[in-house]
Structure formats: C-alpha cells, structure tokens
Amino acid sequence: MQRLKSILFSTTPLNPRLSIVILNWNGKSYLEQFLPSVLSTTYSNKEIVVIDNASTDGSVSFIKEKYPGIVLVHNKENYGFAKGYNEGLKHVDADYYLLLNSDVEVQKGWVEPIITLMESDSQIAACQPKLLQYNNRNMFEYSGGAGGWLDRFGYPFARGRIFDVCEKDTGQYDAAAPIFWASGAALCVRASVYKKLHGFDEFFFAHQEEIDFCWRAQRAGYKIYCCPLSVVYHVGGGTLPKGNRQKVFLNFRNNLVMMAKNLPAHEATWKISWRFVLDAISAVKSLLTGEVTYFTAVFHAHLAFLGWLISGKKQQQLPLNDNMTDGYLKRSIVWQHFILGKKKFSEMIKTKR
C-alpha cells in the first residue's frame, strides 16, 4: 500500500499513449455541452476520438466544423454500446482506451491519477474514476459511484449506490480500491487486455457489457480498480425507468447471460434458478402497481435468455481463474436491502462478506 501511495503522488512523468473515446448516437446536444471539458484534459499524450453509430442529428457535421482536431470513426449503423465500441476501436491505436459517455463532464486533471495507478501495476486491466451526479455534485451517480460490486445472485451495486439509493459523497470512498466492475460511463481499459478478451460481448448490445468484461478480465487473472482521485460528473439516467421496456429487457436478459457465461455450471444452475424467482417477484409486484410494461419486459427477458442458452452461444476462450474476492458480496443484497433495511454500501460490508 505504501508503494502504491508513493507512486500515486510521484512527480515522475508517465506518458503512455491514451485515446479518449466517445461513442455517439444522436447525441449532438451532449457533445455541444461536454466536449469542451474533455478538450481541456491536461494529459499530454492523448487523442480524442468520437465513434459515431450512424447518427442522423447532425452530430458528425457539428464535430467536423467545430472540432476538426477530433478523430472521427464512422460505424455503418447503430451497433449499440458493445459492438459500437468493438468496431470503432479497430481503428484506434493506443496503450489505453478511455471510454467516455457523451453526457460526462470531466475535470482538467482527471486522467493523470488513473494512468499513474494503472502504470503502477500491469495486472490492473480496467479502472474508473469516482462518478458523481452532474446535477447534484455531492451525490454519487447511479451508474458506478466509487466502483462496482456484485452480490452472490448477480445483482450489481456500487460503493455509494445500492439499487436506487445514492449516497452523499463525504469522502468515505476516497481510497483507491480493487472492485468487481468499472462503469462503462468512464472506463479506462488497457488496450492489450481489451484485445486479448475480444472486447465487449456484442450479444449484449447495451447494458452490463462492462460488468461482463470486467468479470472475464478477473477470471483471466487481472484486477479492476476505482481511482477516486479522478472525479467526473455524469448526467446519466439515475434509476432505471420501469416504463422503458428496452432498458428493462436488456438489463434483465444480459444479467442472466453474464451469470451463465462466467459462473461454473453447477453454481450458475442454482443461482439463476433463484434469480428467476426473485425477478418474478419483482415483476409481479410491478404488475400489481399497474406497471405492465415492466412485467412484460422481465418476462420477455427470461424467454430471450432461455433462447440464448439453448442456442449454445456460451464460449470460454481463455484459461480462467474462479478464485475472485475483490468486490464480491457472498450474501444477497436483496435480503440485506429490502428485508434488513440496509441502505448504504458501508452497512452491507461492515460484517463478514
């Protein structure tokens, strides 16, 4: 730990090649608002790349006219988050990719702490900054807080966010720490590892592909970190709108696919069986409150998962290590949160995992 602290606060220059890569689809308004902050990034050995997923809102012409120094990569269609990045990054040459949502405001010195941390340990495959809410800057943001965790039934949560409860940032999670997953809203990943693991799983399209990637990276022997010395502000979507059928569908389907891919078969079988029960309870509860769209989205997500399972698409391409402990809660966060009433991350982990 002392060695890590000395490296983090060292003035020795570390200058690997960095590409800050923004995936865009009809996000012109966000580009207008947030590109200036990205351009103010002080890290010297960088380029800024926008991968465009066939936008129709004038995003491309706006970038060409306003920011000719930005590298533009054109995808043929809207490939979603996973394939969008996979295709676009084929045209990007760097030591590190820093994947950044278009609705994120960054600070001038946000990159240096992350690169310094990752350069201190070649086994760190991916790292995220501390994510705070753009409109409420002393609150953690839903999509990643101060680093993502996973519970025994595959439910993701974060330091600073349990389900839809976001904590106030009082510096309680300001230590750099190993985590289970790093948020795709601001994800710095070692390019060599991204290529080795074949990037994101394109079946996911969008939602939870970064969790799956981080899980696979850990299984291949790498580490995932959060670096709170770096801070960004994310507009995001907050809690997942239950009325947005596509988002609900993708989150439930992809979460089950992720578990089936990464858990040993015997463990996946009983855990996914329990997840079907827990998901059904959530769906029925929503139906009773009149949220029919949410109910049908969960039902169709389960059917789609079973279709994926029958298709035999599960593949493991690397020797894998299942002895993971960082960022993994060996208990049920549903029980801890909804039954025992624990609202904060610190309450979840203050007892034995």
| CB-CB contact of 201 with 82 (8 Å) | yes
- Token pair for 251: 């989150």
pLDDT score at 353: 45
| CB-CB contact of 80 with 52 (8 Å) | no
Q: Report the alpha-carbon distance of residue 128 to residue 224 in Å, rounded.
A: 9
pLDDT tens, per residue, the chain with 353 residues: 554 555 455 444 569 999 999 999 999 999 999 999 999 999 999 999 999 999 999 999 999 999 999 999 999 999 999 999 999 999 999 999 999 999 999 999 999 999 999 999 999 999 999 999 999 999 999 999 999 999 999 999 999 999 999 999 999 999 999 999 999 999 999 999 999 999 999 999 999 999 999 999 999 999 999 999 999 999 986 434 445 899 999 999 999 999 999 999 999 999 999 999 999 999 999 889 888 999 999 999 999 999 999 987 765 555 556 666 789 999 999 999 999 999 999 998 874 44
pLDDT score at 12: 40
Q: Report the alpha-carbon distance of residue 15 to residue 218 in Å, rounded.
A: 26
Sequence-distant (≥ 6) Cβ neighbours of residue 263 within 8 angstroms: 271
pLDDT score at 348: 86
Strand 148-151: give its sheet, edge to edge.
Answer: 165-166, 161-162, 156-158, 148-151, 328-329
User: ∠ CA 106-348-186 to the nearest 5 degrees?
Assistant: 20
Q: Report the alpha-carbon distance of residue 104 to residue 235 in Å, rounded.
A: 6
Could you give the 3-state DSSP secondary structure of residue 145?
A: coil
What is this structure's pTM?
0.92
* Cross-strand pairs, 72: 50
User: What domains are defined for the chain?
Assistant: 2-234 (3.90.550.60), 245-314 (no CATH)
pLDDT score at 290: 87
Pairs from 87-93 (Cβ < 8 Å, separation ≥ 24): 87/51, 88/21, 88/23, 88/49, 88/51, 89/21, 89/51, 89/194, 89/199, 92/19, 92/21, 92/49, 93/17, 93/19
Q: Report the alpha-carbon distance of residue 88 to residue 104 in Å, rounded.
A: 20
pLDDT score at 326: 87
Instruction: Indicate the pairing of strand 71-74 with strand 46-52.
Output: parallel
pLDDT score at 83: 98
